[in-house]
Amino acid sequence: MVSELDKATVRMKDPEQVKNIISALRKGGAGKLQVISDFDMTLTRFGFNGRRCPTSHNIIDNSRVISEEGRKKLKDLLHYYYPIEIDPYRTMEDKLPLMVEWWTKAHNLLSQQKILKSDIAQMVKESDVMLRDGFNIFFDQLHQSRVPLFIFSAGVGDVLEEIIRQAGVFHPNVNVVSNYMDFNDSGILKGFREPLIHTYNKNNTVLKNTEYFQQLCTRTNILLLGDSMGDLSMADGVTSLENILRVGFLNDRVEEQRGKYLEAYDIVLEKDETLDVVNGILRFILPQTELVQPKSP
Ligand code: C5P
Ligand code: MG
């Protein structure tokens, strides 16, 4: 059915159930489908050549416009809070206030750095960020089939939009809900807009007042992509949900987190830096449009 599911990176608690969901998604077709995806470390690579790739926040943290002192403080926050974010032995309730603390401190530091709106494109260009291999097939396939792609990110919206714009895949079927920067009249960063989105509130509470909320409810078959346990609630706003396939990228502390991920995600992709499996599933679900061949003279 989907040969990519035989890849060595794929793990499933119940392969039969996965098969049934994929069949149901195919039956429903493009008209009923929407893709709800996390951004950082889900659509972007976790590592490349043995080095970590940056999140949308890290792109700003590491950029030349941040003072040395600011960069050090932001790095200290990352080293303190990231291990808490992914700690498999702490509950989400326990982590939640600490995540609010991390995002708040980081956003306050960034807001003191006189970042210009016009700096963002260059920051992204100079960064080591990479979308996962196969990203162009993923974005283009959804666009061609008119399937909405909803990116729900606790990262920085202005930065992530710039990443997909520079990659040439910010098609009109893409909607983003994320943390957006607030600039003053001179184009200098003065803060971040509400509501604050962090790893563990990616759910209805932040979606209720967004424009996208209505549209979200009309497509009842869902392909959900995430890399964190917090990404599992991204589809909670869809009231009349029919079928959902959850695909989780397990990037870090693989052995310790495997059990939890297998319970929560239908398909777990371990240290897989590609979108191959997702693209294989979409190829099976969506009717394939003929590639337009250039006319010979
Ligand atoms: O797009 P996504 O929801 O994955 O973005 C959130 C990610 O950004 C978190 O998983 C977190 O590790 C990372 N982060 C960061 N720096 C911050 C806050 C969050 O790198 N200041
Ligand atoms: Mg993520």
Tens of pLDDT along the chain (297 residues) come to: 999 999 999 999 999 999 999 999 999 999 999 999 999 999 999 999 999 999 999 999 999 999 999 999 999 999 999 999 999 999 999 999 999 999 999 999 999 999 999 999 999 999 999 999 999 999 999 999 999 999 999 999 999 999 999 999 999 999 999 999 999 999 999 999 999 999 999 998 898 878 777 777 889 999 999 999 999 999 998 888 999 999 999 999 999 999 999 999 999 999 999 999 999 999 999 987 654 555 655
In the chain, alpha helices (H)? 15-32, 56-61, 68-85, 92-111, 120-126, 135-144, 157-166, 204-207, 212-218, 254-264, 276-285
Domain total in the chain:
2
Q: Are residues 113 and 173 in the same domain?
A: no
Do the domain assignments include residue 38? yes
Q: Is 80 in the pocket of ligand 1 (CB under 6 A)?
A: no
Domain stop point among 65, 96, 126: 126
Query: 172 by DSSP, 3-state: which?
Result: coil
Q: Cα(43) to centroid of ligand 1, in Å?
A: 13
- Rounded CA gap, 265 and 95, in Å? 20
Q: Cα(256) to centroid of ligand 1, in Å?
A: 20
Q: Which of 36, 53, 57, 86 to mutate to test the pocket of ligand 1 (most atoms within 8 A of CB)?
A: 57
Pick the catalytic residue from 14, 38, 140, 185. 38
Ligand nearest to C-alpha 160:
1
Q: Are residues 153 and 106 in the same domain?
A: no
Which residue range(s) make up the domain with 119? Answer: 48-126
Q: Is 251 in the pocket of ligand 1 (CB under 6 A)?
A: no
Q: Work out the burial of residue 163: count CB atoms within 10 Å of its CB; fewer than 13 is exposed, 13-18 middle, 19 or more buried.
A: buried
Tokens of 124: 């992204």
Q: Work out the burial of residue 89: count CB atoms within 10 Å of its CB; fewer than 13 is exposed, 13-18 middle, 19 or more buried.
A: exposed
Any bridge partners for residue 270, and if so which?
250
Q: Are residues 73 and 190 in the same domain?
A: no
Do the domain assignments include residue 186? yes
Predicted TM-score of the model (pTM): 0.96
Q: Are residues 206 and 148 in the same domain?
A: yes
Domain stop point among 126, 155, 181: 126
What CATH number has the domain bearing residue 97? 1.10.150.340
Tokens of 181: 């920067």
Q: Is 38 a catalytic residue?
A: yes
Q: Are residues 97 and 159 in the same domain?
A: no
Q: How many CB atoms lie within 10 A of CB 241?
A: 14
Do the domain assignments include residue 297? no
Q: Are residues 194 and 55 in the same domain?
A: no
Q: Is 133 a catalytic residue?
A: no
Tokens of 123: 């920051």
Do the domain assignments include residue 295? no
Helix axes 68-85, 92-111, angle to 10 degrees: 170
Domain stop point among 126, 152, 173: 126
Any bridge partners for residue 37, and if so which?
151, 225
Helix axes 15-32, 276-285, angle to 10 degrees: 60
What CATH number has the domain bearing residue 152? 3.40.50.1000
Q: Are residues 36 and 53 in the same domain?
A: no
CA-based angle 230:21:149, to the nearest 5?
55
